[in-house]
Chains A and B, each alone.
Chain A
């Protein structure tokens, strides 16, 4: 039987990234994917004839540019096209748009509040400062603050030095930013509720927090610290859908000699004497490897695929209490034509970007109260895009595809698991909200895929349907992610690693955990280092 240098469990963007870096170091790598298709939550799927859905993640910004370059993703077909504009529809028939052009954007805010218009630059700069602070930390291993090892001390010192470089007031502002709610943070800049509502959405997407929950300001960074072609905070479409990213990674991997096996569900990681030796598939096939690297979330990895007796009790306890509550649903809709939004002028660039229908902080927070009570939001926060206006490859000419991200939907309802009737009712809630602002929308629907967190778990394998593979709260960030003492991609089992978003720096189609994990594996194997940074 072939002994691989590394087996990667799961062909999501992080698993593929790890595999690529390892293969580029000359290691023999096998990626095992449970589904017949690869990509994890970065997929493009034809679920209605002629239409391609990015049916999980749907826009691109966070993917680290250094990874795109290292893995030569453009050469393997990845093209990211930025989009302009965004808007929030207000209940009084107006809207607040945002535009890429600074002056046009400014004047749009001024329509709602002159003061907020002139405060916007101060806000953008404050957030940019936070991005600037955090960005270099993304591609580094978090230090263990309890350790006295030179590398940990060095990394800790690096962290402290970067913090100290901020200057006194900015240090305080940074602590405050990390600990405040997005609503409170925005209150320090803006007076207009709709301006705040527009910006606050980024603080809750994918989280089990509300806009009033302390810590949600930080989450905002997970939607701001990305870039397209050096423009920080810009978002774009991967041409051909988000699957284009993972397809390019797969092609890059194959070009470096890596292997991918689909329809290969892992049943168990084989462990002997505390060392990972390989895996056994559900169909009984066995594969052996020097290292096993899991792209699955920390719960799925250690609670489902490793025998409990192989793991220390306190580690298992920590894994069990890892917070990974799903909070988001998704609708993917095939449309017979472009829906009209009477509030928006026909030529408005805002309709080409993300559209929202929640115009106040209170509505956003009430949506969260519903989630806490174990129901989907009666008045949810939607992040709606029609990418086919930009990307011609995803629907026939003149036809369109709409992607609707829905915040909030619980992993399990107060009444029990999601039923088909629940799913239908949930979909109707979302469709009705959009239809309130688009009279012809319902008539244009050809097909709608409604996905609950439960569906996401069943299909992609994300526990409880959490899109970040674990919530982004202080107790699960940096050296606490996924659990204290095991934040450096390694596990209590020698040769078993984590490379998914459960690890630092967390979720979003960023691929940083995958790269960071590869760096640690290569160090441990004393192989050629292909990942930059430390």
Chain B
């Protein structure tokens, strides 16, 4: 306990995304003198609300809250810092190209038009969903724990590995077998095995691959679905929520919590490099040349940016750098934000349906075909879309009677053949035309549009490759392999330098668990006196 009484000293956090803010709060609460440095003019990283036209506010990048760690929300008292949800259990409405749709929530079919869903499918979907929730629940526990190292004699590592084995066994013989079978399988085959309706399969198929460089037929896409379902909103697994005031409200609450805990949060403070002395991170230097000395540096920047640009390879070993170089960070999604001077009408959908999350993923094959293109640096011919109309839940986001529409577009490659400059406007036009197929009056209501390509994500949000998750979610980049062996436990090869972003376990989504785990690691090291 004596270690706690000593002054833990100064901690600099690079980047004010949600994970940086979470780490700032926890460390400040533990007595650290925290200075958080954000390059942009506002905090929030990719969880921000931006004005796309006068009076129209849209979730610039991330638009749905589904993974926010309940531990973080509770520990940091986010509600008392102003976080409230305008919607807690969004329905998912999936559209097909012929004007039909199905509406889903928690594995239940709410409504279906045109092609009725068979009772078999309903029962099988409920069963499959329950099973997936069960498996996701078994994983959930590990999201908020540091991943173990392999082959060490460290007690914590061995305990974590032992518990992992135990929780597999506790699933029971049948579930354990099934889990071991599907742990590396693709979502497509599971959906084909269990279900017949293409719209249902399309919806689950798209959910499995959102933000990844996978198609539904890529092995490993079932675990990414489980990962997504590991979130809990209001006690419901895999539920989707919208924060009041847009995604920026989440990070604003996190910022208030951090400030309340005593952290100093500075915007417009881009870090140029991490300072090293005597094989230890001792602070940072800003773009303007000022230095901020510290006893340790915690980076919310992505791993490539942290190691290759901010730290520089000279302080690292070649083998480690080789791994960083090969960390796959290919962004695959674009974001289209629209300002509309009225509510668009979607074919076959009631106004109630529009309150939910609308997908264009008519079948798992459709999503897979959309994926085909991204492998070759091409734009999807017919992209899969995830659409929300946040103004329906929160009228404050647009002038009276007007609306914003937020669309995640899958797939759009970072390394587009021919370059983005040539393709940008044509692609936006094409997306509008595609939306018009489902909402014929949408083009007439269009006031302004904002297309954010993976390249924009890299430039404006400092995410290498425009990769949402700061590192692709894939089996070989999960858990103790995330971001790379040698930095899989938040500590890096350089003493005093830590990672706390989504590039670490457990990865992206507005979750905050990486920030939480990183803070715990910093505190553990501090107790151990290293």
Task: Identify the stretch in A237-245, A338-346, A478-486 within 8 Å (CB) of chain B at 4 or more residues.
Answer: A478-486
Q: Are B481 and A172 in contact (CB under 8 A)?
A: yes
Instruction: Find out whether the CB atom of A146 lies under 8 angstroms from the CB atom of B177.
Output: yes
B415 to chain A, nearest CB (A): 13
Q: Is the CB of A480 within 8 A of B481?
A: no
Interface: B151 (CB within 8 A):
yes
A107 within 8 A of B: no
Contacts of B268-284 to chain A: CB distance below 8 A: none
B182 at the interface (CB under 8 A from A): yes
Interface: B407 (CB within 8 A): no
Q: Is the CB of B149 within 8 A of A168?
A: yes
- Shortest B132–chain A CB gap in Å is 15
Q: How far is the CA of A188 from the CA of B475 in the complex (A)?
A: 16
Using Cβ atoms and an 8 Å threshold, which residues of chain B touch A179?
184, 220, 474-476
Interface size of B by CB at 8 A reads: 39
Query: In the complex, how many angstroms separate the beta carbon of A14 from the nearest chain B beta carbon?
Result: 23
User: A372: which B residues are within 8 A, CB to CB?
Assistant: 217, 368, 372
Interface string of A14-43 (1 = CB under 8 A from B): 000000000000000000000000000000
Beyond A168-B149, A484-B180, whether A475 also contacts B481 by CB under 8 A is: no
Q: Are A172 and B219 in contact (CB under 8 A)?
A: no
A455 is an interface residue with CB less than 8 A from chain B = no
Min C-beta distance of A177 to chain B, whole Å: 8
What chain B residues lie within 8 Å of A209 (beta carbons)? 219
**Known interface pairs A146-B173, A179-B184. Does A213 touch B485 (Cβ–Cβ under 8 Å)?**
no
Nearest Cβ on chain B to A173's Cβ, whole angstroms = 8
Query: Is A67 interfacial (CB-CB < 8 Å)?
Result: no
Residues 472 to 496 of chain B near chain A (Cβ within 8 Å): 474-476, 480-481, 485-486
Q: Provide the bound-state CA to CA distance between A171 and B486, in Å.
A: 12
Asked if A175 is at the interface of the complex by the 8 Å CB criterion, the answer is yes
Residue A313 interfacial (CB < 8 Å): no
CA distance A57 to B505 in the complex (A): 44
Check if B176 is an interface residue, CB within 8 A of chain A.
yes
Whether A215 and B189, one on each chain, are in contact in the complex, defined by CB atoms closer than 8 angstroms, is no
Which residue on A lies nearest to B222, using beta carbons?
A: A475
Contact with B177, one of A172, A215, A485 (Cβ below 8 angstroms): A485
Interface centre among B178, B369, B485, B486 (most CB of A within 10 A): B485
Q: Which residues of A contact B368 (CB under 8 A)?
A: 372
In the complex, A164 has a CB within 8 A of chain B: yes
Contacts of B474 in A (CB 8 A): 179-180, 214
- Taking the closest CB of chain B, its distance from the CB of A158, in whole angstroms, is 16
Report if B183 contacts A (CB, 8 A). Answer: yes
Q: How far is the CA of A49 from the CA of B480 in the complex (A)?
A: 60
B215-232 to A contact mask, C-beta < 8 Å, 1/0: 001111000000000000
On chain A, which size bracket covers the interface?
35 or more
A214 touches B185 (CB 8 A): no
Instruction: Count how many pairs of residues, one from A and one from B, have CB atoms less than 8 Å apart in the complex.
Output: 94
B134 at the interface (CB under 8 A from A): no
Q: A145-B176, A146-B177 are in contact. Are A473 and B185 (CB under 8 A)?
A: yes
A323 within 8 A of B: yes
A215 to B372, CA, bound (A): 17
Tell whether A479 pairs with B180 under 8 Å between CB atoms, given A169-B485, A365-B375. Answer: yes
Q: In A78-127, which residues have CB < 8 Å from any B CB? A: none
- B169 near A146 with CB under 8 A, answer yes
CA–CA, A179 to B219, complex, Å?
8
Q: B215-273: which residues lie under 8 A (CB-CB) from chain A?
A: 217-220
Are A484 and B151 touching (Cβ within 8 A)?
no
Question: A474 is contacted by which of B177, B183, B326 (Cβ under 8 Å)?
Answer: B183
Within 8 A of A (CB), among B436-478: 474-476
The reply to whether A473 and B151 contact each other, CB–CB distance below 8 Å, is no
- Assess the B150–A214 pair: CB atoms within 8 A: no
Contacting residues, chain A, for B486 (C-beta < 8 A): 169
CB distance from A523 to the nearest CB of B (A): 23
Q: Which residues of B contact A184 (CB under 8 A)?
A: 328, 476
Q: Which residues of B contact A362 (CB under 8 A)?
A: 375-376
Do B219 and A215 touch across chains, with their CB atoms under 8 A apart?
A: yes
Tell me if B181 is interfacial: C-beta within 8 Å of chain A. yes
A167 to B152, CA, bound (A): 9
- Of residues 149 through 208 on chain A, the ones whose CB sits less than 8 Å from some CB of chain B are 164, 166-169, 171-173, 175-176, 179-180, 184, 187-188
Q: Name B477's closest neighbour in chain A (CB-CB).
A: A176
Q: Specify which chain A residues have a CB less than 8 angstroms from the CB of B181 in the assembled complex.
A: 475, 480, 484
A187 touches B173 (CB 8 A): no
B165–chain A nearest beta-carbon distance, Å? 9
The contact string, 1 if C-beta is below 8 Å from chain B, for chain A 474-516, is 1100011000110000000000000000000000000000000
Interface positions of A from 222 to 267, Cβ below 8 Å from B: none
Q: Evaluate contact between B178 and A484: CB separation under 8 angstroms.
A: yes
Determine if B217 and A213 form an interchain contact, defined as CB atoms under 8 angstroms apart.
yes
CB distance from A367 to the nearest CB of B (A): 12
In-complex Cβ contact of A214 among B152, B476, B480, B481 (8 A): B476
**B214: A residues at CB distance < 8 A:** 214
Query: Within the complex, which residue of A169, A214, A321 is in contact with B475, where a contact is CB–CB below 8 Å?
Result: A214
- CB-contacts of A346-398 with B (<8 A): 362, 365-366, 369, 372-373
Among the interface residues A168, A173, A474, which one has the most CB atoms of the partner chain B within 10 A?
Answer: A474
* Cα distance, A172 to B368, chains bound together (Å): 29
User: Which B-chain residue is minimally distant from A148 (CB atoms)?
Assistant: B169
Q: Is the CB of A172 within 8 A of B176?
A: no
Residue of B nearest to A183 (CB): B375
Of residues 256 to 303 in A, which have CB atoms within 8 Å of B's CB atoms?
none
Whole-angstrom distance between the Cβ of B412 and the nearest chain A Cβ: 17
Taking CB atoms, residues of chain B closer than 8 Å to A146 are: 169, 173, 176-177
| Residues of B with C-beta under 8 A to A321 | 189, 193
Beta-carbon contact of A475 and B185 below 8 Å: yes
- Distance from A23 Cβ to chain B, minimum over Cβ atoms (Å): 35
CA distance A214 to B176 in the complex (A): 23
Task: Mark each residue of chain B from 352 to 370: 1 if its CB lies under 8 Å from any CB of chain A, else 0.
Answer: 0000000000000000110
Chain B residues near A214 (CB-CB < 8 A): 184, 214, 218-220, 474-476
Is residue A517 within 8 Å, beta carbon to beta carbon, of the partner chain? no
Which residues in window 170-198 of B have CB below 8 A to A? 173, 176-178, 180-186, 189, 193
Q: Which residues from chain A contact B480 at a C-beta distance below 8 Å? A: 172
In the complex, A475 Cα to B189 Cα: how many Å? 11
- Within the complex, the shortest CB–CB distance from B508 to chain A, in Å, comes to 18
How many Å lie between the Cα of A373 and that of B363 in the bound state? 13
CB contacts (< 8 Å) of A484 on chain B: these are: 177-178, 180-181
Contact with A along B121-157 (1 / 0, CB 8 A): 0000000000000000000000000000111100000
In whole angstroms, what is the CA distance A330 to B480 when docked?
A: 42
CB pair A474 B219 closer than 8 Å: yes
With A168-B151, A214-B220 already in contact, the answer to whether A187 and B326 are too (CB < 8 A) is yes
Evaluate contact between B185 and A180: CB separation under 8 angstroms.
Answer: no
Say whether, besides A175-B481, A213-B218, A215-B184, A369 and B476 are in contact (CB < 8 Å).
no
Interface residue A531 (Cβ < 8 Å from any Cβ of B): no
Determine the distance from Cα of A366 to Cα of B181 in the docked complex, in whole angstroms. Answer: 28
Tell whether A323 pairs with B219 under 8 Å between CB atoms, given A146-B176, A168-B149. no
Tell whether A212 is near chain B: CB-to-CB under 8 Å: yes
State the CA gap A180–B475 with chains docked (Å): 7
Is A176 a contact partner of B151 (Cβ separation < 8 A)? no
Known: A180-B476, A215-B220. 15 other contacts (CB 8 A): A145-B180, A166-B151, A168-B150, A168-B152, A171-B150, A171-B151, A172-B481, A176-B476, A184-B476, A213-B219, A365-B376, A473-B219, A475-B182, A479-B180, A484-B180
A-B contact pairs, 15 of them (CB 8 A): A145-B176, A145-B180, A168-B485, A169-B485, A175-B481, A179-B476, A180-B474, A212-B375, A362-B375, A373-B369, A474-B183, A475-B181, A475-B184, A484-B177, A484-B181
Binding site for A on B (CB under 8 A): 149-152, 168-169, 173, 176-178, 180-186, 189, 193, 214, 217-220, 322, 326, 328, 368-369, 372, 375-376, 474-476, 480-481, 485-486
Q: What 9 pairs between A and B have smallest CB-CB spacing?
A: A474-B184, A179-B475, A484-B177, A168-B151, A172-B485, A176-B476, A475-B185, A215-B219, A179-B476
